[in-house]
Amino acid sequence: MSKSAVITPFGASTIGSVKVPGSKSHTNRALLCAALAQGTSRLSGVLFADDTEAMLDAIRTLGAEVEENRRELTLEITGLGGSPRLDKSTIDCRSSGTTSRFILPVLASGHGAATLDGSEQLRSRPFAEQIAALRSLGCTLQETQMPGELPIEIQADGLAGGEIEVTTDTSSQFVSGLLMAAPLCDKGLTLRLLGTPVSRPYIDMTIEVMRKFGVDVKKLDDSTYVVPPSRYRATVLGVEPDATAASYFFGAAVITQGKVRVDGLDKRSIQGDIQFVSVLDELGAKVTWGDGYIEVEGDHISGGSFDLQDFSDTAQTLAAVAAFADSDLEISGIGFIRAKETDRLAAMTAELTKCGVEITEKPDGLLIRPNKWLLRGATINTYDDHRMAMSMSLLGLRVPRIEILDPDCVNKTFPEFFDCLEGLRPRAQERSDIAAVIAIDGPAGSGKSTVARQLAAELGLPHFDTGAMYRAVAVAALRAGVDIEDADAITKLAKETNIEIQERIVIDGVDATEEIRTPEANQMVSVVAANPQVRRVLVPQQREWATDLGGGVMEGRDIGTEVFPDALFKVFLTADLSIRAERRFNESSEQTMGSVLDDLKRRDQVDSTREDSPLLVAPGAVIFDSSGLSIEDVVSDLATIFRGLVAG
């Protein structure tokens, strides 16, 4: 088992397609129905992962015959033709909630004794509603450790059936398990749901799979289902690609502002989690619903409020996407996911907080107040929850040093996840429409100039300090005694001043390398840079420089957003305000720490709110918080990302 996986940011917008594995939910329903059917069923597109392996072991224990072709992702299953004969076997469901909650009612419908058990994680998950329902039908069940939890001993002598009520505010899996066992009851089963069921589309999926195997379920109203006594019949069935697994790659497209296509899914899918794509559409993504495929193209991410009760397995994906949104995003209707593999609300709150995301756990969901400036790397606990690992990995596509602990927990449903994610990594040679520029933006004191110079040296590229151009204009104004607020006069200076930006900064023939870093220049530069007329003078010079040199490392405030929006590699370099202030204080002997801090706050406000070319995180930019890191560490990480981007 790998102890951790560090995600290397993509460094560019991803463009590609991904083949996601078969749906776990579809696979496990099909496996159980095939095991109970008369004859031999043939399943294709099957998922082979921990959860489905648990179901395969379970149906073999019940007596079904299984022939596998893992290379082709197919199975042939010769079923029991009815209720199972139990022989005191112990069925280990590992950590699979679907296996355990689907199998328990089937065991109750059989004849003999058996024990249902699972991992420590599964033992902690609730089963009380299903146990109560089965006891009401006459089955003898005994929890051997804690009430309402595994392990459970079953003494079965068939089920007469009849009418039962079951609460549905914890898991739809209880209902699905009872429905699939219902045809085995002597009198069939009428199932009445108490309350509004969570994840209702999964119940609909169960009914559809049962129909494929020859069993019809009558829905009298939104809360009443009738299943007559009947037999499952063998069939040929193709398992859909997993819509929940696809959500991570659609999320990757939105986060990197790229384009990703997933084949095998469209609006006809029986999986409720396909609704996640519509949420991305509302957030501003461009969605193409094709015939047999879905394509998502990312853009700026707006905020909003979304009820995910019917597709809660995508809540963690949406929370990760929300970290990059432009405004607040609220997820509601998912209080019940506290009883999943882990308390997913508490887990996402804890891990996103580590990454600099302001997130509030609410009774039925999450509220995310994003600020991309504050995003930072962190070591992510996954709580033995595959969806924690996969969703939090998405932050690493743009934020360096996201380390995922216990990455192998994805084997539960998606063993190839990290390989598939890596397969979407963009390569520069695939793009001929982008400028060969490394654009480094960020607030004052973030270390842009030092990082840019050293990165250029590390990569053997030219370096140009665009911030020095604006500082040079400020110094020219100081020398000439021009009022910094006189926009026309400052613009005239920008046009007429001879500025040379090389190893030394020369203004009208006089070296100003140290002069542009004085406190007076620091005070004036943000006003100069906010002058749209000055920008119109200097930006063409910056573009001309890059064109003449064939590219290079360029840093400033709007390189990736305005000067070179199609730059090959974009970086937004930031750091904690206190750390930026300390850096500036150490550079100056004439200011107090308090005055430096106040000046940085003022500059951040001016730079981020100015009407012309405000300081923003460029689309798809790597967001790198350098707090606590050496310049060498930052340069090394950025060089690694860049080399990966341009590798053949």
d(CA 448, CA 440): 7
The H or E element spanning position 57 is helix 50-62
The one-letter code for the residue type at 28 is N
What is the DSSP code string of 157-185?
E----EEEEEE-SS-HHHHHHHHHHGGGS
d(CA 507, CA 516): 10
Which position among 51, 313, 465, 607 bears the catalytic label?
A: 313
Q: Is the peptide bond before 151 cis (omega within 30 degrees of 0)?
A: yes
d(CA 638, CA 626): 11
Q: Which residues pair with 306 in a beta bridge?
A: 331
d(CA 61, CA 146): 25
Structure tokens at 569: 């590699």
d(CA 402, CA 535): 36
Q: Which residues pair with 189 in a beta bridge?
A: 162, 227
d(CA 464, CA 552): 8
The distance in angstroms from the start CA to the end CA of the chain is: 30
- As a dihedral over the C-alpha atoms of residue 253, residue 259, residue 262, residue 268, rounded to 10 degrees, the angle is 90
d(CA 202, CA 175): 9
Structure tokens at 29: 């329903």
Structure tokens at 6: 């560090």
Three-state secondary-structure class, residue 143? strand
Q: What contacts 24+ positions apart, CB below 8 Å, involve 378-381? A: 378/351, 378/354, 378/402, 378/403, 379/4, 379/354, 379/403, 379/405, 380/351, 380/354, 380/355, 380/404, 380/405, 381/347, 381/350, 381/351, 381/405
**Residues 329 and 304: beta-carbon distance below 8 Å:** yes
Structure tokens at 512: 């100003």
Describe the strand order of the beta sheet including 259-263 as a list of residue ranges. Answer: 15-18, 259-263, 293-297, 286-289
Going by C-alpha positions, the residue among 317, 316, 441, 319 that lies closest to residue 373 is: 441
- Return the axis-axis angle of helices 172-181 and 97-109, rounded to nearest 10°: 30
Going by C-alpha positions, the residue among 75, 86, 99, 108 that lies closest to residue 234 is: 75
For tokens 């100015």, name the residue: 610
Query: Any catalytic annotation for residue 313?
Result: yes
d(CA 611, CA 590): 32
* Size (the chain), residues: 648
Q: 316 — phi, psi (to 5°)?
A: -70, -35
Provide the annotated active-site residues. 313
